[in-house]
Chains A and B, each alone.
Chain A
Amino acid sequence: MLTKKVAILNESGLHARPSSELVKVASKFKSDFFIEMYGYRINGKSILGIMTLAAEHGAEMELIVEGPDEEDAMREISQLIENKFVTE
Chain B
Amino acid sequence: MTHVKEQTGTSITLTGIAASGGIGGGRAWVLPTSSTTVKPEKISHDDAKKELAKLDAAVKHVISEFDHLKSISKDDEVNQILDTQIQVLYDPQLLEDIHIKISKQLFGAEYAIFESFNKYIELLDESGVDWAKERMIDIVSIRDQLIKTIKNNGEELLIAENSVIFAHDVSPTEIIQLSRQNISGLVMQKGGLTSHAVILAQSLNIPCVISADWTMHDPEGFTMVLMDGDSGEIILNPSNDEKSLFDKRKTEQEEIRAETMIWAAKPDQTNCGSSFTIQANIEFLNELPRLKTHGAKGVGLLRTETILFQSKNFDVDNQIEFYRSVMDAADNKTVTIRLFDAGGDKLLDDYEAEANPFLGWRGIRMLLDKPDLLDQQLEAILRVSGDYPGKLKILVPMVSRLEEIDEIKQAIHRVERLLEIKNITFDKSIPLGIMIEVPSIALMAEHAAEKVDFFSIGTNDLTQYTLAVDRGNEHISKLYEPLSPAVWKLIAMTKSGADKAGIPVAVCGEMASRPELAACFLGMGITELSMTTNSIPGVKAILCNSSKSELKNLAEIILSINETHLINLHLKEWMQSKG
Contacts and interface: CB of A to CB of B under 8 A. Distances in A.
Contacts of A12: 131
Contact of A16 (B94, B128, B135): B135
A48 B91 contact: yes
Interface in B120-139: 120, 123-124, 127-129, 131-132, 134-135, 139
Contacts of B81: 16
B127 A54 contact: yes
Contact of B88 (A45, A47, A54): A47
Given A16-B135, A51-B135, A54-B129, A46 B124 contact: no
- How would you classify the secondary structure of chain B's contact residues: helix, strand, loop or mixed? helix
B311 interface: no
Nearest to B83: A20
Contacts of A48: 88, 91, 93-94, 120, 139
A55 to B, nearest CB: 9
A52 B84 CA distance: 14
B93 A42 contact: yes
B87 interface: yes
Which of B80, B88, B127, B131 has the most chain A CB atoms closer than 10 A to its own CB? B131
A42 B81 CA distance: 22
Contacts of A52: 120, 123-124, 127
B9 interface: no
A29 to B, nearest CB: 13
Contacts of A23: 87
A19 B120 contact: no
Interface size grouping (class) on chain A: 20 to 34
Given A46-B94, A52-B123, A20 B87 contact: yes
Interface in B314-360: none
B80 A17 contact: yes
Interface in B42-82: 80-81
Interface size grouping (class) on chain B: 20 to 34
Given A17-B80, A20-B87, A51-B124, A45 B92 contact: yes
A47 B127 contact: no
A43 interface: yes
A25 to B, nearest CB: 12
Contacts of B80: 17, 20
A84 interface: no
Interface string A12-37: 11011101100110010000000000
Nearest to A19: B84
A56 interface: yes
A75 B546 CA distance: 76
B84 A16 contact: yes
Given A12-B131, A52-B123, A54-B132, A20 B84 contact: yes
Which of A12, A19, A23, A24 has the most chain B CB atoms closer than 10 A to its own CB? A23
Given A51-B124, A51-B132, A54-B124, A17 B84 contact: yes
B485 to A, nearest CB: 54
Nearest to A12: B131
A15 B80 CA distance: 13
Nearest to B130: A15
Given A19-B84, A51-B124, A54-B124, A46 B131 contact: no
A74 to B, nearest CB: 19
A16 B124 CA distance: 11
Contacts of B134: 16
Given A52-B120, A52-B124, A16 B88 contact: no
Contacts of B124: 51-52, 54
Given A16-B84, A16-B134, 11 more contacts: A15-B129, A15-B131, A17-B84, A20-B80, A20-B83, A20-B84, A23-B87, A24-B87, A27-B90, A48-B91, A49-B120
* 7 interchain residue pairs of minimum CB distance: A54-B127, A46-B93, A52-B123, A15-B131, A47-B87, A48-B120, A43-B93
Interface of B: 80-81, 83-84, 87-88, 90-94, 120, 123-124, 127-129, 131-132, 134-135, 139
6 contacts: A15-B131, A19-B84, A20-B80, A48-B120, A49-B91, A51-B124
